[in-house]
Structure 1
Amino acid sequence: MGTEGDNVRVIAGRYRLEARIGRGGMGVVWRAADQLLGRQVAVKELCLDESLSADEGRTQRERSLREARAVAQLRHPHIIVVHDVVEDDERPYIVMELIVGGSLADRIATAGPVDAAEAARIGVDLLGALRHAHDAGVLHRDLKPANVLMEAATGRVVLTDFGIAQVAGATTLTENGAFVGSPEYTAPERMSGARTGPESDLWSLGALLCTALSGESPFRRDSLGGILHAVVVDEVRPPAQAEPLLPVVRGLLERDPDRRLGAVEAEGMLRAFRETGRTPHVGTGYTPTRRDVPTRGRVPAPSVPPAPPAGTGPSAPETPAAGPPRRHSARSMLVAAALVAAMAGAGLSAAALLMRDSGDGGDPPARSAPRGAARTTPSSAAPSTSGPALPTPTVTVTRSSGASPASRAVPEGYRLARDPGGFTLAVPEGFTREPQGERVFYLSPGSAFRLGIKIAAPRSGGPLAVMRRSAAGGPSTNPGYRDGRVTATTRGTDPAALWEFSWDGFTRTEGARHTYDLCWEQDGRMYDVWVSAPVGRVAEAKRYFDVAVDSFEPS
């Protein structure tokens, strides 16, 4: 039992709590004296849910102690040292080294943003800490400036507060249906409830670097719903101050976790910047793997997407006149509001609804994007929605003549859209433009047909590898995924790949759908054009697809 007197409390018969030095969502931090070894320490008193039953409270304590002991096994110069884990009066405590100095958040608040060299130093130290933790099967899950300590005497960067960390193979204290972490620094795949892995911590690091450089998270908004919308849907816009480290920041803030920049490569790029003053671009040796729990092997790094083309924005295309009012913002914010209810304990994964309703519409959710044009021959019949895989499609790719897009004949029933995203293509009359994050969609009335476009940097392995990786993730991104087939082809002399598949749609009302997706590489860029439609209307969808890819040109 703890003893108390003269405002001093001793726990576990050893640690005298002297002054409260911090407080967070997971507990109170005290400066304390270790009376056995005669040293100053920090003691974190973990908060417990008082509404739980005795059995539930006991289970919560056991889980928190088990996780704390796992973190205590970590030994790294940039991870807080955990000296002891104790229980006193049925309450768990974590005894840690005492760092004299404030957090990175304190430093930013008092002295302003740091320069690129200091941000690179902080990033290198944190990446080393994260790699060590991930190799041990521990995720942090709440990486933010407030959880990074800066030792005053040495400038040492110390990652702390693994209070909501997840140990591989364990059900954690916080995994009870409630949202945990800081939304401005939480990866989109965690928002959706789809997965949490080492890549999620790396996204958080990307947001942290932006904050360190500019003084504010790029996802800060006036409301929780706004933050969720910014993380999951809006175009990611690093601050101007991030320009020297932009390849690293953009790589870490890649929404597709399988293409996110890995810790090893990010650390190498930041070290190169510290040595040369220049940040190299990502190499081409990356082969992504899918992980739902942390692995003990080091994580390779994907390619870094470049800054979006000049002029990219949400404004309507130049031609024709604007269609019906956009529904995206209101709809997305309503779904985000539902997520707030989930975070209050409703258990609803509303962020998943936000991602699907405002993003992919049943199309490949996060892939390398496109610029260029190609054509495929229509299938002779609608694909089946079950049974064996589709036969390998025959693909013929044509290249339009040298005439400019504006001078080419547009098929009857179509219009030529000059998109502010940096491309031109023919879309059916009545389709309206709806930018959704890193993609641009043209939707039919009622959204039965969804034509999507994305532009990105080349990826390792080229279009065929990109499509195969996307197909491998098809079951996790497209409910009821089936009959998938990836075929290598070319567009003129440019490499390309066609991915075709069926799936169940996002809702029962929507019903089964079929998707055609062509990805190709041209002039140092990668382009992706896809069309999804109800399975009973694939012939019409194939015509839309052929016209779109044939007429597509970068502007």
Structure 2
Amino acid sequence: MSDEGRLVAGRYRVQRRIGSGAMGVVWECVDERLHRTVAVKQLLLQPGLDPGEAEEARQRAMREGRIAARLQHSNAISVYDVAEDEGQPVLVMEYLPSTSLAAMMSDHGPLPPREVARIGAEVASALGAAHAAGVVHRDIKPGNILLGDNGQVKITDFGISRAQGDVQVTKTGMLAGTPAYLSPDVAMGQEPTPASDVFSLGATLYAAIEGHPPFGLNENTLALLHAVAAGKIEPPQQAGPMAQPLMAMMTARVQDRPDMPQVREMLQSVADGGSVSSIPTMAAPIPPALAPEPPDQATSVVGAGDAAGTTVAYYEDDPYSERPYEDATSYMGADHRADEAVYEEPRRSKRPVIISAIALVAVAVIAVLVTSALRGQQPPPPQPANQQTEQQLPPAPPPETSSEEETTTKQTRTSTRETETSSEEPTTSQQQPTTSDEPTTSEEEPTTSQPTKTTQPSGSFTTQ
């Protein structure tokens, strides 16, 4: 039964069928309100869905169609409207008289590398704008790249493949569609990201140059999916100057792939007749050069509790740690803290020095006090041997001792020498202080003894 003349969604009159497949049908239609030609794609929901799942799929298709409508770019097919027709979601899009890249490859075989680079650069320009708007395509393949009759290149079907189940696990666990252009991270179950779009574009351009996708066209979907997840790609044999850009885009590690603006620059360079000498990557930002994190210091995460995302600060107290690497480098010469952080050794605590100083002062004070207390009790300096006589000179008379109260003072001094021992005991009676001028000499054999302690009651002061 022909669809010609059919009115879709009460507004779009079918002129002819452009294409069809298991997941949908595309018509060339006339918008009877605006009197312009449009492309209308009706998405066929996956068979076997219960009513709840079917409704969820419809709402998802409508939502993603509205998201795609936000993108306005000269290299992307615009989405004009999202509607429903007979319970099926319908997308109304810009109509472009064109041939798909898949049809071009089928008709003409592998394409010249620089022509493929030109096509890829225009597609990358649209995808870069989409990523900046928060839209991930998720289904980049030769069939979704249109080569206009006027030479313009446009990509179509933003975000639609996931809604219609083009690369989606069914209820039985099988894959609907082919994963030949999937990235390894998506094949392993991760969510599609801008990096997965980079890989898929690389795989598409690889197929345009080599004549087959990087992982082949195995009819066994699970075997092909396993090969994609492994990420082992045979380097292209006919790519010439496109070899390096393609291998960079199809790097297995997500963080090692360039972002889409960098891809556009590489491909445009090749398209203009040049070559790519260095491959940029979208690896994580390099931390500021002056803010290395010590091993024993935990990373401070600012805003870790916010759903909007987190910001890692390398130094908790440094407001410049979150600046880009270039800013941190240019700030290096003006920030004296930076010089200290690199060239100065860690400052040691002054507490041990202070404690040592206090201890030395205390020892010195004690030494002075002890010296002062013993100054009057030290024996007279020893006389030379040739000046000693059998009779020792009497000691100097002690000064008078005064006391307001009755005191008793006893003092014993013993001086030991190798030849003789002398002893003197000044005595102060309990009566009024008296002075004795008579020395006491001991004629006993020399002995060795320690000085005896002097007991001096409080209130008595003796000076010798």
Q: Kindly indicate whether the alpha-carbon contact (under 8 Å) linking 1:273 and 1:280 is maintained by their aligned counterparts in 2.
A: no
What is the CA deviation profile of residues 2-31 of structure 1, one whole-angstrom value per residue up to 9, with x for unaligned ones?
xx9985210222101122111234311011
| 1:96 paired to 2:93 | yes
| 1:68 paired to 2:65 | yes
* Percent of residue pairs identical: 38
| 1:85 paired to 2:100 | no
Distance (whole Å) between structure 2 residues aligned to residue 49 and residue 247 of structure 1: 39
Distance (whole Å) between structure 2 residues aligned to residue 287 and residue 15 of structure 1: 44
Q: CA deviation at 1:129?
A: 1.2
| 1:40 paired to 2:5 | no
Residue of structure 2 in register with 1:259 after alignment? 256
Residue of structure 2 in register with 1:200 after alignment? 196
Distance (whole Å) between structure 1 residues aligned to residue 159 and residue 136 of structure 2: 10
Q: CA deviation at 1:233?
A: 2.5
Pairwise CA RMSD of aligned residues? 3.0
Distance (whole Å) between structure 2 residues aligned to residue 50 and residue 227 of structure 1: 24
Distance (whole Å) between structure 2 residues aligned to residue 146 and residue 6 of structure 1: 23
Q: Kindly indicate whether the alpha-carbon contact (under 8 Å) linking 1:269 and 1:279 is maintained by their aligned counterparts in 2.
A: yes
Residue of structure 1 in register with 2:125 after alignment? 128
Task: Pick from 129, 148, 153 the counterpart of residue 151 of structure 1.
Answer: 148
Taking structure 2 as the reference length, the TM-score comes to: 0.56
Task: Pick from 229, 247, 255 the counterpart of residue 232 of structure 1.
Answer: 229
SS at match of 1:95: strand
Flag the 1:46–1:221 CA change in 2: closer, same or farther, 3 A: closer
Structure possessing the higher radius of gyration over alpha carbons: 2
Task: Pick from 20, 24, 29 the counterpart of residue 23 of structure 1.
Answer: 20
Q: Which runs of 5+ in 1 are unaligned?
A: 167-171, 290-299, 303-460, 466-555
Q: Kindly indicate whether the alpha-carbon contact (under 8 Å) linking 2:65 and 2:160 is maintained by their aligned counterparts in 1.
A: no
Residue of structure 2 in register with 1:439 after alignment? none
Q: CA deviation at 1:198?
A: 0.7
Task: Pick from 176, 185, 188 the counterpart of residue 189 of structure 1.
Answer: 185
Task: Pick from 211, 215, 227 the counterpart of residue 207 of structure 2.
Answer: 211
What is the CA deviation profile of residues 80-103 of structure 1, one whole-angstrom value per residue up to 9, with x for unaligned ones?
111111112322111111111210
Distance (whole Å) between structure 1 residues aligned to residue 217 and residue 92 of structure 2: 36
Q: Kindly indicate whether the alpha-carbon contact (under 8 Å) linking 1:141 and 1:201 is maintained by their aligned counterparts in 2.
A: yes
Distance (whole Å) between structure 1 residues aligned to residue 161 and residue 3 of structure 2: 35
Q: Which amino acid aligns with 2:260?
A: A
Distance (whole Å) between structure 1 residues aligned to residue 117 and residue 54 of structure 2: 42
Flag the 1:136–1:26 CA change in 2: closer, same or farther, 3 A: farther
Flag the 1:242–1:29 CA change in 2: closer, same or farther, 3 A: same
Q: Kindly indicate whether the alpha-carbon contact (under 8 Å) linking 1:164 and 1:181 is maintained by their aligned counterparts in 2.
A: no
Q: Kindly indicate whether the alpha-carbon contact (under 8 Å) linking 1:142 and 1:182 is maintained by their aligned counterparts in 2.
A: no
What is the CA deviation profile of residues 106-158 of structure 1, one whole-angstrom value per residue up to 9, with x for unaligned ones?
01111222212111111111111111111121111111101111111x11111
Flag the 1:198–1:25 CA change in 2: closer, same or farther, 3 A: farther
Q: Kindly indicate whether the alpha-carbon contact (under 8 Å) linking 2:141 and 2:201 is maintained by their aligned counterparts in 1.
A: yes
Aligned residue pair count: 285
Flag the 1:215–1:50 CA change in 2: closer, same or farther, 3 A: closer
Q: Kindly indicate whether the alpha-carbon contact (under 8 Å) linking 2:80 and 2:93 is maintained by their aligned counterparts in 1.
A: yes
Distance (whole Å) between structure 2 residues aligned to residue 25 and residue 256 of structure 1: 33
- More strand, by proportion: 1
- The 5-angstrom pairing of residues 281-430 of structure 1 reads 281-283=278-280, 286=281, 288-289=283-284
What is the CA deviation profile of residues 446-482 of structure 1, one whole-angstrom value per residue up to 9, with x for unaligned ones?
xxxxxxxxxxxxxxx9xx99xxxxxxxxxxxxxxxxx
SS at match of 2:239: helix
Q: Which runs of 5+ in 2 are unaligned?
A: 294-464
Q: Which amino acid aligns with 1:92?
A: P
SS at match of 2:180: helix
Q: CA deviation at 1:187?
A: 0.5
